[in-house]
Structure 1
Amino acid sequence: MDFTQKSSCPSDITSLKCVQHPGKQLEYFCTDHDAICCRDCLAKTHKSCDKTVSLDTAADHVKQSEVFTDCKERLRAYLKSIDSILKNRDKNLNEIQTTGKTIMAEIKSIKEKLIQRINEIEKTMIRNINTIIEDESKHLQSEHDQVLNLRKTAELYHQDITFVKENVPDKPSFIFIRKMSDNISKIEEDLQNRLQKFEDVWIEFRESAEVAKMESFEM
């Protein structure tokens, strides 16, 4: 079965060919080094290892193993976290846009107090608030899109795991799930790095106590 055409898995994830020794097939698993190897690897690198078994033995019941379950659980938790983040970004984006509209309405209400100078002040303030809203909205939308891309990646991984579990033989599945575990670790780390940089954005408008002097506004 050519399952690589039905899955988004890169072909090298389930390949049984040894990367270190072209032309050699992966046939063994060294539990001492947690490494999948060919005959040459075994002879050169794992010669003194005590816990080396055939790949067939190592891959036996892999789909019922903890690593399969762990990967799916990690992805489930990851997707839940992604959904929460996306909801937060959507909420914050809506709030900042709504707040911006409110501020512009406040600026218009102040117009009546400013009489002769209000037109220039209004133009200045609206320009400033629009710039803030535009800049911050772009930033929030960018963060939203970045996290959404991570979610799409996680969904593809989840689909890949489900497909492999249902359609792929044990030996390629063993190789696949180990590499998939590494891939999940990378996107988990990517998300954590992004979360450390995320900050909620707020804008507010305060009418100056000196408004009668028409000297300034604070934002």
Structure 2
Amino acid sequence: MATTFSSVDKSSDLVKDYCCGACKSRSIEEIAEIYCETCLKCFCGKCIYHHSQLYADHITYGRGDINKWPITKKMEDFLYKCEIHKDKKLKMFCKDHSQPCCTNCAFLNHRLCKEVTLISESRKTNLSDLHELSYKIKTILKELKNLHNTKQTIFQAVEGSYSKRLQEVRDVRQKINSALDKLEMATLKELDDVRTSLQADLKTDVENYNKLMDDLELLSEAVQELADRRIGEMAFIASRKCLDKIKESQVYLKKTSLKFDNSIASKANTDIEQYLNKQFGIGKILHRAVQGNANHPFTVTKKCEYDLKIPTDGRYS
């Protein structure tokens, strides 16, 4: 009996599980479109045409009757494969543990069990039981999907909160940097003021020194000239000025020698460095673990605190 088949999405995994038996015998992989119940084989569109010409009375089913097709090889291997011994098939059933097992499992783990029989001899499963199991699986899959979506939402929320907290940490660090910059500027200003004051005093000393040197040199010349000429009035004035300049120079030398060391000294404020070194971080990170599902509110089950440690750099060490 020829069957009209409809177009099928050949990209679906379901379609790829059914290959044309005739093409496969020629080492060609072609997607099957029709299943022949009489031949117990699947055929592609080209092969089913020739099949229908030769066996018009065979019963065939298209994709619209996929429930009448046999179980795929992939599904059969999945169901029969032992999860412990991957190369063995499930052939035995332990009634004591209500568990299918391969011959290896039966020998190793169920030797002492009372009822270990072939699966073919075990109790048959009712169709209603399969429908009930299918319903339960769909329900669980729906819950898992909702949980997955919730986890994705939480994951995105974690990333968002992480970005915010990261920016907050950087903002705090920036504030600390700004505060240290202000302290540095204040200290540098004080250093500049001290330098300016010392330089002003030294400039005055240099000016006084130059004036004394000039006056003393002129008086020295004047005294030498007057000593040879013996001019009484001018000699008297010169001698009085010499005495005054000598006295002034002695006072200057004594005053200058007392403040000869005018170097700039400083003392570091170690309290800042010691305080920073005693800190474990620049903030506390609060971690809240929550539980719940898509239909119920979340509840806090765990709370943790973490310190944010910043490495000491050369600027503030």
Give the TM-score normalised by structure 2: 0.27
Structure of higher CA gyration radius: 2
Higher strand share: 2
Higher helix share: 1
Give the TM-score normalised by structure 1: 0.38
- For CA contacts below 8 A with separation 6 or more, give which structure has more relative contact order: 1
